[in-house]
Chain A
Amino acid sequence: MSRTLQAPVTVAFDYTRSTGPVIGRFFSGLRDGVVVGGRTSSGEVVVPPLEFDPGTHEATTDFVEVSSVGTVTSWTWVPQPVKAQPFDHPFAFALVTLDGATAPLLHALDVASPEDVTTGMRVRIRWAEERTGAITDIACFEPLAPGEAETPNEVAASAHDEAVTGVVVPVSLDYNYAASPEESLFYRGLNEGRIMGQRCPTCQKVYIPPRSACPADGTPTAEEVELSQTGTVTTFCIVNVPFLGQKITPPYVSAYVLLDGADIAVLHLILGVPAEEVRMGMRVKAVWKPKDEWTFSLENIDHFAPTGDPDADFDTYKHHL
């Protein structure tokens, strides 16, 4: 058994970004099959255009159309592409100075092997079949054969009146997520129908889930403690608002349950009682899902339900609010 529990996790979010007048102008151009650079105060033509001039710090307003044919000024081989790169087979990244520009643009170069690339080689843009106003409207660069006429790729005309004002950038990152050894103890316990905590040797507080160090005094938690399956509602809220991904029809109660013997409450559902009857001090017990549905998750406990015992005295939980 490995020391910690591990599981794949994907964290994904689509960033919606406004482009502003400069990047918007560049992306509008790409959508229409034209590469737009920006002229700086020192006379350089930069692609993509800079939002502000590096010398004067004024907003860029001088735009220049440049060619879709250019020269490789540097390149590197990508033997093992990572997810979402322009190709999933080996390719080159290149810096390409387009004719009419003075600074290079970074993009992919579609060649079969590093032997097919040289600094100084002539390349042209291969446009994406569908263009939306994004850097990916350029599918990649491709080599011009020696002696081939230096003609840009045919590009479908597009008639848009509207300038590009925004772009959506999807970000999706894959991790192999490891729980700490202490968290692993907790989740392994749940998979056995037990609720495990650990006690701080310095202040004697019992943490659930156990933590790698006591947040109060910084001491590693040490002693394993199996907690009671019964506890007290310290505070709660009635959820009346529907939201995306909700699993239970409102109204329902989400509550902090302080298990007997613990110094930290756990957040869970209170079911088996009308929402308006849930109260601070109510005694509740864990209701587990059928054993064949257990995993390494707090969801093994389906919910907490009232025990029917008299309410706990306020003094027994007032320090845990």
Chain B
Amino acid sequence: MRDVAVVGFAQRQMPEFDGSPTCVELLVPLFKECYEQTGWTRKDVGFWCSGSSDYLAGRSFSFVQAVDAIGVIPPVNESHVEMDLAWAMYEAWIKIQTGEVDTALVYAFGKSSAGVLRRTLALQLEPYTMTPLWPDTVSLAGLQARTGIDAGLWDERAMAEVANRSLTDAEKNEYAVRKGGSSVDELLGRPMYADPLRKHDCAPVTDGAAALVLAAGDRAREVRDRPAWLTGISHYVDPMGMGVRDLTRSPSARRAGAALDLDGVEVAELHAPFSHQELILRSELGLADDVAINPSGGALASNPMFSAGGIRVGEAAQRIWSGEAGKVLAHATSGPALQQNLVCTLAASTSATEGAGN
């Protein structure tokens, strides 16, 4: 297994991007920041992989035009996933493990505001018996939240505590589109939106893009004194039928976490677009009370589609670079109600690198 680290990260998050859904003009400055962080040019990047969705963009092959932001003379080694940035990173990690390349720049983008996001995402669902009813993202999360409330696993107050902590932490995050904590009682006093969810329980619709830079071995050490070594990476998926899942649980998140050594994790960036989902993830990953959860403010502060999961990796990696933490965890989700989950650990030391969870 090769030692691979995250050595670069750039992001943009905003309520509404006034530009084309190919987001090329957003990506150009992100790549520039990545070159500045690494000292590289585009010719030092061995592999490129992007994450995006044509349904979000409302046009076919939307990722092809985004390649303009790279420049393709000489030709580049490039791929795409119809998934979050975190999965593009996973593909790049595998590419580096093959030995074919030593470096990769992965990026993702999405203009959620171009359509009705919670409706567009119904296209992720089982197409025979679910999509024709157009169950929106918020409704599916609401069913999940209620299941846990009825089971006594959490309550509205616990959900509001997550939201209040996220909005308070987001005050330090220049990219957060929603920020400013108040008090749990004040949040509970706000009107119900999609009962049992209030608006602050749901991630805001967010446009944006992000990029991560990966490098192997000495290439990583050349870039940073403290590279954020990817010491473990794992992902699993739960069934697509909502009826056969215990919605109070996320077995795929638990399995992904169980494949890794989570002892000693100091910071966890969890991709939880709904407040109760942080509670589920915390339990499934078995995170101790002293683990700092989402110091960035997390997805409740901003949730750009197809980059928000990868942003968790970037936010976590920064804690290693800065010396603030020695071991961190990043999580990304996709699909309805925490259906698909990717977990990785990053550390200042390369010891005990673990393989991908089968």
Contact = CB atoms under 8 A, between A and B. Distances in A.
Partners in one complex: yes
Contact of A82 (B118, B142, B147, B242): B118
Interface in B265-319: none
A115 to B, nearest CB: 10
Interface in A164-195: 167, 169, 171, 173-183
A54 B238 CA distance: 11
Contact of B115 (A23, A174, A212): A174
A183 to B, nearest CB: 7
Nearest to B19: A180
B19 A84 contact: no
Interface in A97-148: 103-108, 114, 119, 134-136
A83 B119 contact: yes
Contacts of B196: 76
Nearest to A214: B71
Interface centre among B119, B129, B138 (most CB of A within 10 A): B129
B69 A103 contact: no
A50 B241 contact: yes
Contact of A74 (B115, B132, B147): B147
B242 A95 contact: yes
A2 B18 contact: yes
B116 A174 contact: yes
B114 A175 contact: yes
B67 A173 contact: no
B68 A218 contact: yes
A23 B241 CA distance: 13
Contacts of A50: 239, 241, 244
A217 B120 CA distance: 34
Contacts of A39: none
A119 B248 CA distance: 15
A216 B73 CA distance: 5
B352 interface: no
B20 A75 contact: no
Contacts of B58: 9, 11, 173, 175, 177
Interface in B90-147: 111, 113-116, 118-120, 123, 127-136, 138-147
In the complex, which range does the number of interface residues on chain B fall in? 35 or more
Interface in B301-342: none
A163 B312 CA distance: 48
B14 to A, nearest CB: 13
B144 to A, nearest CB: 8
Interface residues of A, number: 67
A82 B137 CA distance: 11
A17 B128 contact: yes
Contacts of B22: 180, 212
Interface stretch (B187-195, B215-223, B229-237): B187-195
Given A175-B58, A178-B21, A215-B68, A46 B118 contact: no
A75 B70 CA distance: 46
Given A76-B194, A82-B118, A213 B28 contact: yes
A174 B145 CA distance: 29
A74 B132 CA distance: 20
A79 B197 CA distance: 11
A79 B24 contact: no
Contacts of A105: 243
Nearest to A108: B133
A135 B132 contact: yes
B24 A48 contact: no
B252 to A, nearest CB: 13
A169 B127 contact: yes
A21 interface: no
Nearest to B195: A77
B25 interface: yes
A235 interface: no
B72 interface: yes
Contacts of B42: 218
Given A93-B135, A106-B135, A212 B123 contact: no
B344 interface: no
A47 interface: yes
A82 B247 CA distance: 23
Contacts of B263: none
B71 A216 contact: yes
Contacts of A94: 143
B128 A135 contact: yes
B194 A180 contact: no
A15 interface: yes
A180 B241 CA distance: 39
Nearest to B54: A11
Contacts of A79: 193-194
A136 B133 contact: yes
A293 B147 CA distance: 58
Given A46-B244, A54-B244, A84 B71 contact: no
A217 B129 contact: no
A85 B136 contact: yes
Q: Lowest 3 CB-CB distances: which A-B pairs, in order?
A: A76-B142, A218-B71, A212-B24
Interface of A: 2-4, 9, 11, 15, 17, 19, 23, 26-27, 44, 46-48, 50, 54, 73-79, 82-86, 93-95, 103-108, 114, 119, 134-136, 167, 169, 171, 173-183, 211-220
30 contacts: A4-B18, A4-B20, A17-B127, A48-B241, A50-B239, A74-B150, A76-B142, A76-B143, A76-B145, A76-B195, A77-B192, A82-B119, A83-B119, A93-B135, A93-B140, A93-B143, A94-B143, A103-B243, A103-B244, A104-B242, A106-B130, A107-B133, A114-B192, A169-B128, A171-B131, A173-B58, A177-B58, A178-B111, A218-B31, A218-B42
Interface of B: 18-22, 24-25, 27-28, 31, 42, 55, 58-59, 65, 67-73, 111, 113-116, 118-120, 123, 127-136, 138-147, 150, 192-197, 239, 241-244, 247
